[in-house]
Amino acid sequence: MGEDVERILGRDAQRMNILAGRAVAEIVRSTLGPKGMDKMLVDSLGDIVVTGDGVTILKEMEIGHPAAKMVVEVAKVQEDEVGDGTTTSVVLTGAMLQKAEDLLNQQIHPAVIVNGYRLASEKALKILADLATDVKTGDDTVLKNVAKTSMKGRITESESEKLAGIVVSAVRKVSVTEGKSIKVDIDDIKVEKKSGGSLENTELIEGIVIDKERVHAGMPKSITKAKIALVNAAFEIEKTETEAEIRITSPDQLQAFMKQEENMLKDMVEKVMKSGANVLICQKGIDDLAQHYLAKAGVFAIRRVKESDMTKLSKATGARVASTISDLSEKDIGYSAQVEEMKIGGEAMTFVRGCKDPKAVTILIRGGTQHIIDEADRSLSDTIKVVGAAVESGKVVAGGGSPEIEVSLGLKKYAATVGGREQLAIEAFAGAMEIIPRSLAENGGLDPIDLLVKLKASHDKGQKSSGINVMEGTVSDMFKIGVIEPLKVKTQAIKSASEAAMMILKIDDVIAAGNLGGAGGMGGGAGGMPPMPDM
Ligand code: ADP
Ligand code: MG
């Protein structure tokens, strides 16, 4: 091996990796739950982000240590898969690593721990599946609570009530039944944001909002009972591709030439009129002269609309996108109650609203400052995913640490049936699950020991949805106080946390080109991690 290769072996490698993984978890642990703290992140240019969102924090931190990176990856997967539970998944990974460390100290072989963790993780998923309750697409109260539980941040109760309602309606509109299952493609929900007004002015549009104004001031500003043509072709005369020169030798010839162009554009506009459309939405350009003819005919037209918006418009209005103008016919036309140009936050936008049974909709976020609407955008996009996950799988669980305690108690019973050394690993896994209710209590400024005892006692008595009521400082039924999450948030967190923990435990040799960042492999290499507290 070359000289600049660093190698760490065996127990040292494990110790270093576990330490790095746990450090990542410790960074985000204080943000967990509705009373969690925020982090202020300052990048090298001095730009500031203040957030309590686990994955945002870790993405911004540029963590360098390889094992720490594996833990950050857990948060990213969680975000991609379900949009929520990122902090939970990372905190669980940290706790699993810590418990594994205890076992390693008792001379238990990593392979045994990995085996036990695998058994525990599989069993945990079964316990959660049994615990979950059904939710129907029409179940407004439950779905709104799912939205509100996920929507943490600096928003008031009435704002979160309003936004939750909007998200639930939006998800319901775009959900489609395929055989026995329900599919929600969150791309069918367009999120537009414009500063001005307040969060309370955020609205759901049963149709699509496009960041464009009508092409000609002579066109009507608003059209009711809109008949909409979607065209992916230019209303322009094609410029000759080759270098061919057209020699015009007399004024007559010029006249004739221009007349011909005029007629061609007129024909294009007539095609639109023939289809019955009074609104033209064009993916390409519209020539000035064509604009003039369209305006004269009383058509509302916008141009250079993004392809993704064309797709959504098609889903919302039922129109088919015509790829040539000559193709356009009556059966391609879509409908909406109204198409209107409106000034929002000083900018003209086109609202296609009042679509009948739209399969794509828009949420228009309003808010006092750019900071507020950006934060609302992040939060709403995650909430849309979360509600989508609840609708698709049709399963939810109570939150507030209740499912984690159910899993923990179930695993302890299961461990006894497995026996041997794996039993210890399964028990360790069970113990790691307690980190969630414990952290919720701690972050709420509550006594974690007292509350955990009460919580376990309640579950022992069969109160499966008892959790930490962070707001009141008590143990309460989480369904009753509306703290509800999709089953998928919990299963995904356990799956990816245990996979990452197992992957880290299986490493007994770290061979690095260059430097891992000092003796323990921490320090600079791990991006300036804080010292490890004893959990
Ligand atoms: P994550 O990134 O893991 O979603 P959060 O900071 O959003 O982290 O915290 C999620 C945890 O907080 C979940 O366990 C959830 O059940 C719990 N939680 C959310 N709202 C409440 C509440 N009002 N009372 C108790 N627990 C809550
Ligand atoms: Mg969350």
Question: Residue 201 maps to which CATH number?
Answer: 3.30.260.10
The C-alpha atoms of residue 359 and residue 206 are separated, in whole angstroms, by: 9
Please tell me if the CB atom of residue 379 comes closer than 6 angstroms to any atom of ligand 1: no
Residue at 336 is within a domain: yes
The C-alpha atoms of residue 345 and residue 97 are separated, in whole angstroms, by: 50
Q: Any idea which residue has 């949420």 for tokens?
A: 363
Task: Kindly compute the dihedral angle of the four CA atoms of residues 206, 210, 212, 215, in this order, to the nearest 10 degrees.
Answer: -50
Residue at 533 is within a domain: no
Letter for the amino acid at 354?
Answer: G
Residues 220 and 156 in one domain: no
Residues 418 and 462 in one domain: yes
In the structure, ligand 2 is a single-atom ion and the residues with CB under 5 Å from it are 84
Provide DSSP, 109-121: -HHHHHHHHHHHH
How far, in Å, is the centroid of ligand 2 from the Cα of 63?
Answer: 22
Please tell me if the CB atom of residue 86 comes closer than 6 angstroms to any atom of ligand 1: yes
The values of phi and psi at residue 212, to 5°, are -140, 155
Which residues pair with residue 469 across a beta bridge? 474
Please tell me if the CB atom of residue 88 comes closer than 6 angstroms to any atom of ligand 1: yes
- List b or e across 499-514, with b for residues whose CB sees 16 or more CB atoms inside 10 angstroms: bbbbebbebeebeeee
Residues 103 and 217 in one domain: no
Residue at 507 is within a domain: yes
Ligand 1: atom nearest CA of 398 is 16
List the chain pLDDT tens, one digit each, 535 residues. Answer: 556 788 888 888 899 999 999 999 999 999 999 999 988 888 888 888 888 888 888 988 888 888 999 999 999 999 999 999 999 999 999 999 999 999 999 999 999 999 999 999 999 999 999 999 999 999 999 999 999 999 876 678 888 999 999 999 999 999 999 988 999 999 999 999 998 889 999 999 999 999 999 999 999 999 999 999 999 999 998 765 566 666 777 888 888 888 888 899 999 999 999 999 999 999 999 999 999 999 999 999 999 999 999 999 999 999 999 999 998 999 999 999 999 999 988 899 999 999 999 999 999 999 988 888 888 898 899 999 999 999 999 999 999 999 999 999 999 999 999 999 999 999 999 999 999 999 999 999 999 999 999 999 999 999 999 999 999 999 999 999 999 999 999 999 999 999 999 999 999 888 888 766 543 444 333 444 444 544 4
Residues 380 and 419 in one domain: no
Q: Which ligand is nearest to the CA of 87?
A: 1
Question: Residue 44 maps to which CATH number?
Answer: 1.10.560.10
Look at residues 296, 327, 354 and tell me which one is the last residue of a structural domain.
354
How far, in Å, is the centroid of ligand 1 from the Cα of 37?
Answer: 12
Residues 286 and 222 in one domain: yes
**Count of alpha carbons within 13 angstroms of residue 397, beta-carbon side:** 24
Q: Domain tally for the chain?
A: 3
The answer to whether 459 and 409 have CB atoms below 8 angstroms apart is yes
Please tell me if the CB atom of residue 468 comes closer than 6 angstroms to any atom of ligand 1: yes
CA angle 97, 99, 105 (to 5 degrees): 100
Q: Which of 310, 296, 297, 119 is nearest to 210 (CA)?
A: 310
Ligand 1: atom nearest CA of 55 is 2
The answer to whether 313 and 369 have CB atoms below 8 angstroms apart is no
Residues 222 and 331 in one domain: yes
How far, in Å, is the centroid of ligand 1 from the Cα of 261?
Answer: 64
The C-alpha atoms of residue 393 and residue 376 are separated, in whole angstroms, by: 25
Residue at 302 is within a domain: yes
At residue 517, the pLDDT reads 52
The C-alpha atoms of residue 53 and residue 57 are separated, in whole angstroms, by: 6
Look at residues 344, 373, 393 and tell me which one is the last residue of a structural domain.
393
| Domain span holding position 195 | 136-206+358-393
For the beta carbon of residue 253, count every other beta carbon within 10 angstroms: 12
How far, in Å, is the centroid of ligand 2 from the Cα of 206?
Answer: 28
Please tell me if the CB atom of residue 33 comes closer than 6 angstroms to any atom of ligand 1: yes
Known active-site residue 382: yes
Residues 431 and 503 in one domain: yes
Residues 487 and 401 in one domain: yes
How far, in Å, is the centroid of ligand 1 from the Cα of 80?
Answer: 18
Set 56, 93, 382, 491: catalytic member: 382
The C-alpha atoms of residue 333 and residue 344 are separated, in whole angstroms, by: 28
Model pTM greater than 0.85? Answer: yes
At residue 528, the pLDDT reads 42
Residue at 27 is within a domain: yes
User: Measured between alpha carbons, how far is residue 183 from residues 132, 318, 391, 421, 461 in Å?
Assistant: 19, 19, 8, 43, 38
Ligand 1: atom nearest CA of 36 is 6
Q: Is 304 helix (H, G, I), strand (E, B) or coil?
A: coil
Residue at 297 is within a domain: yes
The C-alpha atoms of residue 421 and residue 410 are separated, in whole angstroms, by: 18
Mutational pocket test of ligand 1: of 32, 59, 90, the residue with most ligand atoms within 8 Å of the beta carbon: 32
Known active-site residue 287: no
The answer to whether 431 and 144 have CB atoms below 8 angstroms apart is no
The alpha carbon of 102 is separated from its chain's Cα centroid by a whole number of angstroms, namely: 36
Please tell me if the CB atom of residue 470 comes closer than 6 angstroms to any atom of ligand 1: yes
Question: Residue 335 maps to which CATH number?
Answer: 3.50.7.10
Residues 218 and 315 in one domain: yes
Residues 214 and 347 in one domain: yes
Residues 343 and 440 in one domain: no
Residues 127 and 187 in one domain: no
**Count of alpha carbons within 13 angstroms of residue 95, beta-carbon side:** 26
Set 87, 88, 350, 383: catalytic member: 87
- List b or e across 459-481, with b for residues whose CB sees 16 or more CB atoms inside 10 angstroms: beeeebbbbbbbeeeebbbbbeb
Please tell me if the CB atom of residue 34 comes closer than 6 angstroms to any atom of ligand 1: yes
